[in-house]
Structure 1
Amino acid sequence: MNNSQPIESNELLKDFNICTQLKYTGQLKVRDSQGRSWNFYYQLGQIVWATGGTHPYRRWLRYIAQHCPDLDTNSIEYRAEDILVDAWDYRLLENLYATQKITQEQITHIAESTIAELLFDIAQQTKLSSLSVDRNQQLILKSPLTATNGNIFLKQMQEFWHNWKEAGLVDFSPYLAPVLRKPDQLQRRVSPVVYKNLERLINGKYTLWDLAAKMKQNVLSITRSLLLYIQQGIVDLIEVPDLRIPTNQVNKIYPVTEIKRENPPLIVCVDDSIQVCKMLERIITSHGMRFIGIQNPVQALPMLIENKPDLIFLDLMMPVVNGYEVCNQLRRISCFAKTPVVILTGSDGVFDRVRSKVFGATEFVTKPVDKNKIIAIVDKYLQPASQVDNLSNLAFSY
């Protein structure tokens, strides 16, 4: 963040205040130049929920564990119709409330923690000059279960950010995970009991936010206590990905009509056309495979990282972010280095084909979608050789 300009002068604060003053209902979306986004949902001028930012699923699980300790997270059902909506994390809370697994008071605590964290994320990770703000009154949360005064959270965020800077932590993100690099040096400095606990927790798996929740302390206190060890190279801070939503339960809403597999492949289509996504869904699921359709290209990358599909169909021409950009970003991520990426486009030009290859695409398929071409590509990249001939001869309808 540009520390030379105080956050009090940020135009973003005015947008939040305007939403409160006008008793705004709808979504307030904050974006930066690197493609990150934070979404705040208002109801009559009060913030009812916030989503997006860094590690959305890890954050959701963290606050579930913190505020709903009696809830068995392994029993939570993740249906595609729930996790593919804009405020998927709130939808899951609604489902848990409807089945009486959590209370309205617990939802309020989770919402307050989430809103506060996202505001701090904006304060630390964005540059004031690169922020953009959009309002969308079409995206609202119907019958929200909680509501909070946004001005209170803005004041808390400013105070928290001030304390974070005063502690010398400006360059440290709480989304980083501490890992022990020099255990022998740490062992000489602390008691055996403290060392045992630190060795168990400082393993590169838990972010500073996660550690604060596990240890029931403020993230500022946790980070400040590790600062000396970080500066001396005893502890290092590393980037970690978001946790993955368990997609093994997503296929429950998709009937398997022909082929049953113990571990069916997951195929994702990123296309702003809902018709294309629905057609591919029918083709893919009728052959016993799992499918996720993503219509919002801005949300594509984090959702792909969460779900790690076996094959990706990617539309070339989309608003805000085009297929070239998404493909290029995917190839920079190690887990997608070899994932088949098939470009979908209405153009059959040589230039588009060549450019797609340059950006890392595996195949190039023209629209309209043809079911035989789609299955042929799936067979080519995902099916064992012994199954290709049998599968290609199967007749199916949708």
Structure 2
Amino acid sequence: MTQTQLIQFNRIINIFHKCTQLQFSGQVNIRDTKKNNWIFYYQLGKLVWATEGTHIYRRLRRNLADKCHHLDINSINFSGVDLSVDYWDFLIIENLYKTQKITNEQINNIIEKTIFEVTCDLAQKTNSSSFFCEQNQDVQLEFPVISTSVDILFQQIQLFWNGWSEAGLENFHPNLSPVLRNPDLLRRQVSPIVYNNFERLINGQYTLWDLAAKMKQSVVSVARSLLPFIQKGITELIEIGDLPLAVFKVNNQSTNSPVPVINRKVPLIACVDDSPQVCKILERIITANGMRFIAIQDPIQALPILIENKPDLIILDLIMPVVNGYEVCSQLRSTSLFAKTPVVVLTGSDGVFDRVRAKVFGATEFITKPIDSDKVIGMVKKYLPTEAKVGKPYHLAFSY
């Protein structure tokens, strides 16, 4: 941690100490000028939970898998949990504890690790830019199993970043993901076993935190072992999105069917297309880049479903039975909720007539079939530049 970061972080420590002294109960929300956001929860002056918006579900899955080996992560039931609140991840582990699926010791370990990771993120991203702190006593967690000592926590953070810097990693962040860029050079330098491990793990799907949990090593050790390969250009660290919390489809079923409540912070891309194949291709592209996806195969039901789920971007096919894409687009633009929502039209040709007509009905952009992954992600990044955390190359300097 640089001297500037240390000064800023000490200011935050003082805020936390004041919460302890005043036996504060509620939410402490810290934001900086880069729109980063960290939320800490207190009860009677004790720190009981923390969260931040980059990798909420990824962190939850990782820590559950690491601390609860018996638990089938994919079978977790989200019903009854309000995933629209900032502390939905806490509610999930609380529910697992109440239903006796995890023990008191396991939930304590998960809480400790979560608070540590979130505070590490805050510590490294703290710089000379201004940050803002808000307190809200209306938001209180009623089921704190553990309370973390602020003094002990910050001692751990200081030790962690000292080790991180001494290993030459000060320009990197544990939330970044290593990806193999020069496999031929790597193959010439390592054994077949090591190369196979690189192919399996260094693929842009796992963050450094994820790899440390998988390999049962400290994140400092994992990052330090990768540093020579990064310096040689064999691997590169990139930003990746959160894991998709939920993917669901809506077809010809009644709109009275319950639709799962999902995390609203992760961008939601909707596709209105009667083709299951097209929906499947787009689902794979969108969810692989950490975003949510909903497929609507019945255009008649499109508008009420879209109103209910409020997607950030809509992909719309032109040629559909009963109701075509032009009519759906017109309905969307006549609804105030979607007046400014990007609507991307899928077209089977580069016909000027189709494009002009679609523009008249309110289309924002066009994608020509067959669907290309790079074009889809490029389009998403173009119209959702701040919300969509899709994978992109990350260079050596990590700045905020």
- TM value normalised by structure 1: 0.67
1:6 shift after superposition = 3.9
CA distance in 2, matches of 1:112, 1:6: 23
Does structure 2 conserve the Cα–Cα contact (< 8 Å) formed by 1:53 and 1:118? no
Does structure 1 conserve the Cα–Cα contact (< 8 Å) formed by 2:48 and 2:147? yes
Residue 163 of structure 2 aligns with which residue? 163
Does structure 2 conserve the Cα–Cα contact (< 8 Å) formed by 1:58 and 1:242? yes
| AA of the residue aligned to 1:264 | V
**Structure 1 stretches lacking a partner, 5+ long:** 249-262, 266-283, 294-298, 316-322, 347-352, 363-398
2:19 matches 1:19: yes
1:229 shift after superposition = 0.6
SS in 1 for 2:266: helix
Residue 224 of structure 1 aligns with which residue? 224
Give the alignment of 1:77-116 within 5 angstroms. 77-79=77-79, 81-116=81-116
2:228 matches 1:264: no
2:61 matches 1:61: yes
SS in 1 for 2:50: strand
1:37 shift after superposition = 1.4
1:96 shift after superposition = 0.8
SS in 1 for 2:204: coil
Residue 396 of structure 1 aligns with which residue? none
2:14 matches 1:5: no
Task: Provide closer, same or farther for how the CA distance between residues 40 and 165 of structure 1 changes in structure 2, counting only shifts above 3 A.
Answer: same
Residue 242 of structure 1 aligns with which residue? 242
Does structure 2 conserve the Cα–Cα contact (< 8 Å) formed by 1:49 and 1:115? yes
Deviations 1:355-385 (A, max 9, x none): x54x7478xxxxxxxxxxxxxxxxxxxxxxx
CA distance in 1, matches of 2:36, 2:55: 11
Between 1:159-168 and 1:302-311, the stretch displaced more is 302-311
Residue 385 of structure 1 aligns with which residue? none
| AA of the residue aligned to 2:6 | I
SS in 1 for 2:124: helix
Does structure 2 conserve the Cα–Cα contact (< 8 Å) formed by 1:31 and 1:131? yes
| AA of the residue aligned to 1:244 | P
* Greater percentage in helix: 1
Quick one: higher RCO (CA 8 Å, sep 6+), 1 or 2? Answer: 2
SS in 2 for 1:83: coil
Between 1:91-100 and 1:109-118, the stretch displaced more is 91-100
1:119 shift after superposition = 0.6
Task: Provide closer, same or farther for how the CA distance between residues 225 and 342 of structure 1 changes in structure 2, counting only shifts above 3 A.
Answer: farther
1:176 shift after superposition = 1.4
Deviations 1:160-191 (A, max 9, x none): 22322232222212111111122222223223
Task: Provide closer, same or farther for how the CA distance between residues 314 and 159 of structure 1 changes in structure 2, counting only shifts above 3 A.
Answer: farther
| AA of the residue aligned to 1:302 | V
Give the alignment of 1:63-212 within 5 angstroms. 63-79=63-79, 81-212=81-212
CA distance in 2, matches of 1:144, 1:240: 31
Give the alignment of 1:29-68 within 5 angstroms. 29-68=29-68
CA distance in 1, matches of 2:114, 2:244: 19
Does structure 2 conserve the Cα–Cα contact (< 8 Å) formed by 1:62 and 1:210? yes
| AA of the residue aligned to 1:83 | L
CA distance in 2, matches of 1:285, 1:137: 41
CA distance in 2, matches of 1:148, 1:285: 48
CA distance in 1, matches of 2:205, 2:155: 32
Between 1:144-153 and 1:74-83, the stretch displaced more is 74-83
Deviations 1:3-26 (A, max 9, x none): 451414432121111112222111
CA distance in 1, matches of 2:153, 2:178: 28
Does structure 2 conserve the Cα–Cα contact (< 8 Å) formed by 1:38 and 1:118? yes
1:66 shift after superposition = 0.3
Does structure 2 conserve the Cα–Cα contact (< 8 Å) formed by 1:96 and 1:102? yes
CA distance in 1, matches of 2:158, 2:151: 11
Task: Provide closer, same or farther for how the CA distance between residues 48 and 344 of structure 1 changes in structure 2, counting only shifts above 3 A.
Answer: farther
Deviations 1:47-98 (A, max 9, x none): 1111123211000000000000011112210126432233111111111111
SS in 1 for 2:213: helix
2:292 matches 1:307: yes
Residue 290 of structure 1 aligns with which residue? 259
Identity of aligned residues (%): 43
| AA of the residue aligned to 1:290 | V
Does structure 2 conserve the Cα–Cα contact (< 8 Å) formed by 1:104 and 1:146? no
CA distance in 1, matches of 2:54, 2:70: 26
1:343 shift after superposition = 9.0
SS in 1 for 2:49: strand
CA distance in 2, matches of 1:189, 1:210: 25
Count of matched residue positions in the alignment of Structure 1 and Structure 2? 300
CA distance in 2, matches of 1:128, 1:45: 28
Task: Provide closer, same or farther for how the CA distance between residues 28 and 338 of structure 1 changes in structure 2, counting only shifts above 3 A.
Answer: farther
SS in 2 for 1:302: coil
Cα RMSD after superposing both structures: 3.2
Deviations 1:267-303 (A, max 9, x none): xxxxxxxxxxxxxxxxx9844462648xxxxx84436
